[in-house]
Amino acid sequence: MPASSKSILVLGGARSGKSAYAEALGGGDFGAKVYIATAEAGDGEMAERIAAHQARRGAGWTTVEEPVALAQAIDGHARDGGFVLVDCITLWLSNLMHGEHDIERAVSDLCDTLARAPGTVVVVSNEVGLGIVPDNALARRFRDEAGRAHQAIGACVDEVVFVAAGLPLFLKRAEDGR
């Protein structure tokens, strides 16, 4: 990884403030700021959520919509001195599951990309493993895939932050490697 590079995983529950926290990380002195969106507006409610995220970010961001080929999108947009924000991993996993892609391979490719990406790359994801055990096989598989992905990504990034009530809890910091 180039010396000026940094990778961060931001986890949290629904409406925890994780996306706003991750976006604020991009407020520093960065060159290009790129938002890689994994969501697709499949209905009106999702279209409204996407529009709200775009409005909150404001000017200065380039939005790239990429529901599946995430590692390639990061490779194509990460630059020295730049900032890439991926939101979010759990939607990406849903897209991979729906398309019957090899999730283990895709997560491995993502980790390889994060390890070599120049600039700062922040990935946001929903922590879905803290609640009750889902009542159906598909939901249990999704929870398990998300948990495995978070473990793999958490191991390969420089920092991991858990956000609850809009407040960051640092699980792994770049300087200590924990």
Give catalytic residue positions: 53
Q: Which tokens belong to 137?
A: 């096989």
Distance separating the N- and C-terminal Cα atoms of the chain:
18
**Under DSSP, is residue 35 helix (H, G, I), strand (E, B) or coil?**
strand
- 159-164 and 167-172 beta bridge pairing: antiparallel
Residue bearing tokens 């990460």: 78
| Strands of 66-147, DSSP E | 83-87, 120-126
CA separation for the pair 22, 119 (Å, rounded): 15
CA distances from 26 to 21, 57, 82, 124, 176 (A): 9, 10, 9, 13, 22
**Under DSSP, is residue 74 helix (H, G, I), strand (E, B) or coil?**
helix
